[in-house]
Amino acid sequence: MTDDPGLLLVFLAALGTALATGLGALPLLFLRDASPRVLGTSTAAAGGLMLAATQLLLVEGVDISWQRTAWGVAGGIGAIWVIARFIHAGDGDEAADFGKLRGANARTAFLIIAVMTAHSAAEGIGVGVSFGGGEDLGILVALAIAIHNIPEGLAISLALVPHGSSVRSAAGWSIFSSLPQPLLAIPAFLFVEAFRGVLPVGLGVAGGAMLWMVVFELLPEATGRARWPFVASGLVVGYLVMLGFTILLGGA
């Protein structure tokens, strides 16, 4: 392989990572019972997936610059807090609408997709920067991110399908959340040094936003639907799934 990857290869590799996110919806084909217990457990599982992703993002960011990562975390928490306040401000459950979802379910789904989209922006930069180190490294990193994106798509799907969305719709929204990856991979590849400096901030923003989402949205919703043993089980299983994917990829 050549050490000078072309723009088309970088774009296609990043596009592949985005499309892989849609695969996370496939396990939901087997979910038929949407009882409160199932809803609460699935919401907690989405939270566990996001908690593990947060940990991985922050570790990667701190390895580059803990100061810029910390600023990013603060910015991510602040941004998602403002978005959540705007969404929740003065509306009744009937006012919220997101596809087939209504009320609190719609708001939660919107916030998760917004948070995961911010997360994808950092991953897109990571793909582009990695290709700056050569084609072999870029393809390896893109493959790792693509596999890593599958449980991220599962997290989005767990917030959509049990509440009434179709699996196809969940897969579509999962892919949509990852579109920043092919869009940002090209400029990150062309301007490697500049984007390498921004990367820890992006990782921190994504991590902070996901941490806020889990603590203030997903866990309260989960505990309102299911008893703590089911919530704790879903949280742990989701966390271990994401961590297991990372270990299999050699990233832990």
Contact 43, 216 (CB under 8 A): no
pLDDT reading at 90 higher than 70: no
Would you kindly state where each structural domain of the chain is located, as residue ranges?
Answer: 7-248
pLDDT reading at 36 higher than 90: no
pLDDT category of residue 214 using cuts at 50, 70 and 90? very high
Mean pLDDT, to the nearest integer, of 176-193? Answer: 93
Mean pLDDT, to the nearest integer, of 31-59? Answer: 85
pLDDT digits (tens, 9 = 90+) for 3-17: 456 899 999 999 999
Mean pLDDT, to the nearest integer, of 117-143? Answer: 88
Mean pLDDT, to the nearest integer, of 194-206? Answer: 90
What does the pLDDT read at residue 104? 67
What does the pLDDT read at residue 33? 58
For the chain, the maximum distance between any two Cα atoms, rounded to a whole number of angstroms, is 57
pLDDT category of residue 89 using cuts at 50, 70 and 90? low
Contact 218, 50 (CB under 8 A): yes
What does the pLDDT read at residue 233? 95
What does the pLDDT read at residue 244? 85
Contact 23, 175 (CB under 8 A): no
The answer for residues whose C-beta is within 8 angstroms of residue 71's C-beta and 6 or more apart is 201, 204
